[in-house]
């Protein structure tokens, strides 16, 4: 009986191990099957480069949503990337170990809070503040960028801390031995050695920001038009899908799946870039004899 299960186990486990690839394949297949014929029929130009989105009269241009997604994502990076990397550098290089033990779970908590809660706080606190301080409707690109900037902090920080920690201690010691201050050794040696990993963290944070849906729906305002300033209301790609999925049929529904394809491809490219950056970082270190 034992021999039987011993022969069976590897095969069964191999089959199980292939489920992730299978899932990925089926997901891609069904999203593409639903959206690709639409893209062909409407034409890529009229889909990606037109800013006329009126599904009832057959106009399906998602350019405003693409532009809004980019604005919101870069805004989020502008806030989340420097803040996250600064926090990671402080925790990994300067803070006492005890502080790390307190802060790390706190950061994880930040990533555990549901996105709808972030969105709600954006609506209740941030949007009114922006409305009174800077004008405009409040629910805006700026509000979405701030909320998303906070939401990507855990991703950016976790990967940045890993990258900083994987820099060999001897690098720091070498710099210090040459008379550098701690900050000089961090700035000129550690940050340079860890830059691929830091970049990977930022790219993954970017993926998270582009893909975030519920928080953005709540705070970005969702107006279907080309945004002209950071205080304008805007609708992102993800928001467009989630808002209209409930009632869309026929061509309209296919258009939403086609929007999903655009999103899917962008995320895949970003993940590929992040993976390449991480690999480059570890390869370089190995090549240097570590």
Cα 217 to Cα 239: distance, rounded to the nearest angstrom: 5
Contact status: 177 vs another protein (CB under 8 A): no
CB of 228 to another protein, least distance (A): 25
Produce one character per residue of 83-94: b if its CB has 16 or more CB atoms within 10 Å, e if not: bbbebbbebbbe
Contact status: 45 vs another protein (CB under 8 A): no
Q: Is the dihedral of CA 140, 143, 147, 149 positive or negative?
A: positive
The nearer residue to another protein, 34 or 46, going by C-beta atoms, is: 34
Cβ-based burial of 277 (10 A; exposed 0-12, middle 13-18, buried ≥19)? buried
Stretch of 2-10, 137-145, 170-178, 192-200 contacting another protein, by CB under 8 A: 2-10
Cα 156 to Cα 150: distance, rounded to the nearest angstrom: 10
Residue 270, H or E segment: helix 250-287
Cα 198 from chain centroid (whole Å): 14
Contact status: 17 vs another protein (CB under 8 A): yes
Nearest to 183 by CA among 94, 99, 96: 94
- Could you give the dihedral angle defined by the CA atoms of residues 237, 239, 244 and 249, in that order, rounded to the nearest 10 degrees? 30
Contact status: 97 vs another protein (CB under 8 A): no
Contact status: 128 vs another protein (CB under 8 A): no
Stretch of 53-61, 164-172, 191-199, 254-262 contacting another protein, by CB under 8 A: 254-262
Is there a contact between 204 and 270 (Cβ–Cβ < 8 Å)? yes
Q: Which of residues 259-288 bind another protein (CB under 8 A)?
A: 260, 263-264, 267-268, 270-271, 275
Cα 278 from chain centroid (whole Å): 16
Contact status: 181 vs another protein (CB under 8 A): yes
Q: Is 18 helix (H, G, I), strand (E, B) or coil?
A: coil
Half-sphere exposure of 228 (CA within 13 A, CB side): 2
Stretch of 54-62, 67-75, 133-141, 202-210 contacting another protein, by CB under 8 A: 202-210
Select the residue interacting with another protein from 150, 175, 190, 234 (CB under 8 A).
Answer: 150
Select the residue interacting with another protein from 61, 87, 201, 205 (CB under 8 A).
Answer: 87
Size of the site for another protein (CB under 8 A): 85
CB of 201 to another protein, least distance (A): 13
Residue 64, H or E segment: helix 63-89
Contact status: 238 vs another protein (CB under 8 A): yes
Select the residue interacting with another protein from 98, 246, 250, 289 (CB under 8 A).
Answer: 246
Contact status: 95 vs another protein (CB under 8 A): yes
The nearer residue to another protein, 28 or 67, going by C-beta atoms, is: 28
User: What proportions of the chain, in percent to the nearest 5, are helix, strand and coil?
Assistant: 80, 0, 20
The nearer residue to another protein, 33 or 288, going by C-beta atoms, is: 33
The count of residues in the chain is 290
CB of 256 to another protein, least distance (A): 7
Stretch of 48-56, 61-69, 167-175, 234-242 contacting another protein, by CB under 8 A: 234-242
Contact status: 256 vs another protein (CB under 8 A): yes
């Amino acid at each position: 009986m034992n021999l039987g299960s011993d022969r069976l186990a590897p095969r069964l486990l191999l089959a199980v191990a292939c489920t992730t690839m299978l899932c990925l394949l089926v997901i891609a297949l069904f999203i593409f099957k639903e959206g690709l014929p639409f893209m062909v029929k409407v034409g890529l130009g009229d889909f990606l480069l037109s800013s006329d989105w009126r599904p009832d009269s057959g106009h399906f241009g998602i350019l405003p949503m693409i532009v809004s997604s980019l604005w919101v994502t870069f805004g989020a990076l502008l806030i989340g990337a420097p803040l996250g990397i600064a926090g990671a550098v402080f925790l990994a290089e300067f803070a006492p170990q005890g502080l790390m033990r307190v802060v790390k779970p706190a950061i994880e908590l930040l990533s555990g809070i549901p996105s709808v809660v972030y969105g709600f706080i954006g609506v209740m606190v941030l949007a009114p503040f922006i409305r009174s301080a800077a004008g405009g409707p409040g629910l805006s690109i700026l509000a979405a960028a701030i909320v998303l900037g906070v939401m990507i902090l855990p991703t950016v920080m976790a990967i940045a801390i890993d990258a900083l920690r994987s820099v060999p201690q001897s690098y720091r010691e070498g710099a210090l031995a040459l008379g550098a201050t701690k900050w000089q050794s961090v700035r000129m040696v550690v940050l340079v050695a860890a830059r691929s990993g830091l970049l990977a963290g930022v790219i993954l944070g970017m993926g998270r920001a582009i893909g975030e849906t519920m928080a953005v729906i709540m705070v970005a305002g969702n107006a279907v038009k080309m945004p002209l300033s950071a205080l304008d209301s805007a609708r992102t790609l993800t928001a467009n899908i989630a808002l209209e999925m409930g009632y869309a049929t026929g061509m309209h529904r296919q258009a939403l799946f086609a929007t999903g394809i655009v999103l899917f491809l962008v995320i895949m490219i970003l993940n590929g870039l992040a993976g390449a950056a991480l690999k480059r970082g570890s390869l370089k270190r190995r090549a240097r004899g570590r």
